[in-house]
Amino acid sequence: MSQDSGTPQPQRYFVRESDVVGYHPANHTGTLNRRLIGPETVGAKQLEVLVGRIQKGKGALPHAHPGIEQVCYLLEGRAVAEVGGQRQELAPGDCCFFPAGEMHTFTVVSDEPARVLVIYSPPYEESPERVIRA
């Protein structure tokens, strides 16, 4: 219900990346994210989907998300992901999983910026209390 008019607002199911305001996530460098699916965009309660653009040599500093699983799917560029003592270079079409509470990093190694689709479950929402830094 809208607080202003008292009339119900239609549920939103579709989101265009260009309609979403970007933000610079905490504990990341050279990164611009756009939250596509989440509580504030479509009312999702169990997951969050965003797309990020990360500059060469930049990315996620060592950190973990207690109680939140994360998936990264590389759309463009190349990046190195590290988690659980494993290190892997990713190319477009590659995917990685960061278990809840596991320290991880994600660094772009290509000359061009990387684009990455990120999924969190449950939603992370950039809450400072939901991250542990190294």
Q: How many domains does the chain have?
A: 1
Assess if residue 36 is contained within a domain. yes
Report the residue count for the chain. 134
67 within a domain of the structure (yes/no): yes
Residue that is written with structure tokens 């050279």 in the block: 30
Q: Is residue 1 domain-resident?
A: no
127, part of any domain: yes
Task: Please name every residue paired with 48 in a beta bridge, in sequence order, or none if there are none.
Answer: 120
* Residue 94 located in a structural domain: yes
pLDDT tens column, 2-32 = 445 566 667 889 999 999 999 999 889 999 9
CA distance 26 to 7: 37
6: number of Cβ within 10 Å = 7
Residue 10, domain member (yes or no): no
Instruction: List residues bridging with 49 in a β-sheet.
Output: 37, 119
Q: Say if residues 36 and 13 touch (Cβ distance below 8 Å).
A: no
Q: Quote the CA–CA distance of 115 and 91 in Å, as a whole number.
A: 11
Q: Tell me the pTM.
A: 0.88
Q: What is the DSSP string of 54-105?
A: EEEEEEEEEEE-TT-EEEEEEEES-EEEEETTEEEEE-TT-EEEE-TT--EE
Q: What range does the domain containing 104 cover?
A: 22-133
Banded model confidence at residue 69, pLDDT cuts 50, 70, 90: very high
CATH number, domain of 86, equals 2.60.120.10
Which range among 22-31, 51-60, 86-95 shows the weakest confidence by mean pLDDT?
22-31
Report the b/e string of 48-69 with b at 16+ CB within 10 A.
bbbbbbbebebbbeebbbeebb
Query: pLDDT tens-digit profile of 112-129?
Result: 999 999 999 999 877 766
